Chain A
Amino acid sequence: MYTETLLDIAMRHSEAIILKAQKGDSQAFNRLVALWYKRIYNLALKYFSGHDMAMEAAQRTFIAVHKSLPNLRNTEHFKSWIYRIAVNVCHEEERKSKRQAISIEGVGEKETETIQLATYGPEETMQHQELSKLLLEALKEINEEQRMVVIMKEYEGMKFREIADVLDISENTVKSRMYYGLSALRKILQTRNITKEVYYEL
């Protein structure tokens, strides 16, 4: 479940940085990237279940942000604006990857795994990685539209109203996608025998 960090608080008070970046201040823009990169990368990581595509999507998102930032009229809407760009980039990347004939999944996953090694003991790391992998696979299996709503709600901690704004759909549709997304996840987790009890054992 989503808990607010210091970075999130900094992100909520980044209006001055946004204004500077809009005027072409490269330092301010880099700070903006530093503030938001982790969020966008993790959104893409959960959407694609792969580090390489997540990196690609995050980079493309920030290139697009750099290009269109001067056109953003109301800086208060920055959050939904940047998520909208990220969501669009993710959809585009997904379409591109589907067009590619052969894709070997899991080859480029080495780097994220080594980063995780630092925070857990060897055994814990392995179990944690296995569970993370299973959960990412479960997310990957549900419908794209539901997946994006689940990610934004569950991992980005957004309100249904904000998600509706980002996706340009009604709040009820968002809630409905969330409901069916969670229900689909429940079935997947059941078939793979990943229950709350298993999670506690791990």
Chain B
Amino acid sequence: MNYKVDESTLIAYLYGELSAEEQAKVNQYLEENPEAQATLEELGKVRTVMAKLEDEEPLAPIVMNMHPEPTIMRKLVPWLSAAAAVCLFVLVGYATDLNLKYQQGQVILGFGEPATTEVETSPLTQEQLVPLLEGILGQQNAQYNAELKNVQSALESQIAANQQKIAQTTAKPAPGLDEGVLQAYLMRYQEENVNQMASLLENSTEVQREELQIFLAEYHQFLEERRLQDLQLIEAGFQAMQDNVNQQKSETEEILANIITSVNSTNY
């Protein structure tokens, strides 16, 4: 078979850019030519190694400033809008019979026909004002007094009723209960309470002690773990620091070597 695969075909085969027919031909050729097969494998290895070179994230991309120069119309827009606002105000004012007046330091805005009756603005004299106020105050005082009297009488009647009830209850002793029996009953009740309280306290302190012990043990374990973690972190930090220093050192050495070779090459 005289079919010979050239470099272009081989490289197209390597990247899978051949037609099925061509690919079949190359496959057959490679079977018959182990040298070509070896070359292809070598090139494949180069690709694998070169693929280790990854993309890098660039710094923030540039942002193009493409704002166009403002045209005459754009410059006029604020003025035109102000003019439009004034026109609108005038039009609306005309349609609603707007009345705008400046009178005695006040701006008066109104719609429709202007009010015909003028508000009397002359102030009252002191002589007129005093009897008027006295009359109003007198009326209010009388009203308050009447209300107070009502409340007072209602309270008095309620107090009297309550006192009567108290007198009735204290006068009657509880039937069938001797004072001595009551005392004994109370004492027994108190004693029971004290005993219960004591046992409760004893139990609870025991439980608390146990819980506290468990808690302390757990806390100790936690602290120990934390300490170990911290130590590991510190160790990792030191390791990273050392690596960085080594890297910087090698970089500096390299830069120095570059500078030296550059200086040497310029000297010769």
Partner of B49, one of A55, A107, A135: A135
Please indicate the chain A residues that have their CB under 8 angstroms from the CB of B123 in the complex: none
* Contact between A196 and B48, CB atoms less than 8 A apart: yes
> How far in angstroms is the closest Cβ of chain B from A96?
18
CA distance A198 to B68 in the complex (A): 55
* Contact between B66 and A106, CB atoms less than 8 A apart: no
* Contact between A41 and B52, CB atoms less than 8 A apart: no
Q: Is the interface of B mostly helix, strand, loop or mixed?
A: helix
* Contact between B57 and A115, CB atoms less than 8 A apart: yes
Q: Is B53 an interface position by the 8 A CB rule?
A: yes
* Contact between B57 and A38, CB atoms less than 8 A apart: yes
CA distance A129 to B243 in the complex (A): 13
Per-position 1/0 for B1-39, Cβ under 8 A of A: 000000111111001010000000000000000000000
Q: A30-B64, A62-B62 are in contact. Are A185 and B46 (CB under 8 A)?
A: yes
Q: Is A72 an interface position by the 8 A CB rule?
A: no
Q: Is B51 an interface position by the 8 A CB rule?
A: yes
Q: Is A167 an interface position by the 8 A CB rule?
A: no
Please indicate the chain B residues that have their CB under 8 angstroms from the CB of A135 in the complex: 49-50, 52-53
Q: Which of B55-70 contact A (CB under 8 A)?
A: 55-59, 61-68
Which residue in chain B gives the minimum CB-CB distance to A103?
Answer: B262
CA distance A176 to B6 in the complex (A): 9
**Which one of B87-95, B132-140, B173-181, B252-260 is at the interface?**
B252-260
Interface size of A as a range: 35 or more
Q: A104-B255, A122-B240, A175-B12 are in contact. Are A132 and B53 (CB under 8 A)?
A: yes
CA distance A160 to B12 in the complex (A): 8
Q: A112-B56, A182-B43 are in contact. Are A66 and B66 (CB under 8 A)?
A: yes
Partner of B62, one of A33, A54, A136: A33
9 cross-chain CB contacts under 8 A: A30-B63, A41-B58, A106-B255, A115-B56, A131-B53, A150-B50, A155-B53, A155-B55, A186-B43
Which residues of A line the B interface, CB within 8 A?
A: 1, 24, 26, 29-30, 33-34, 37-38, 41-42, 45-46, 54-55, 58-59, 62-63, 66, 101-107, 111-112, 115-116, 122-123, 126, 129, 131-132, 135-136, 138-139, 150, 153-155, 159-160, 172, 175-176, 178-180, 182-183, 185-186, 189, 194-196, 199, 202
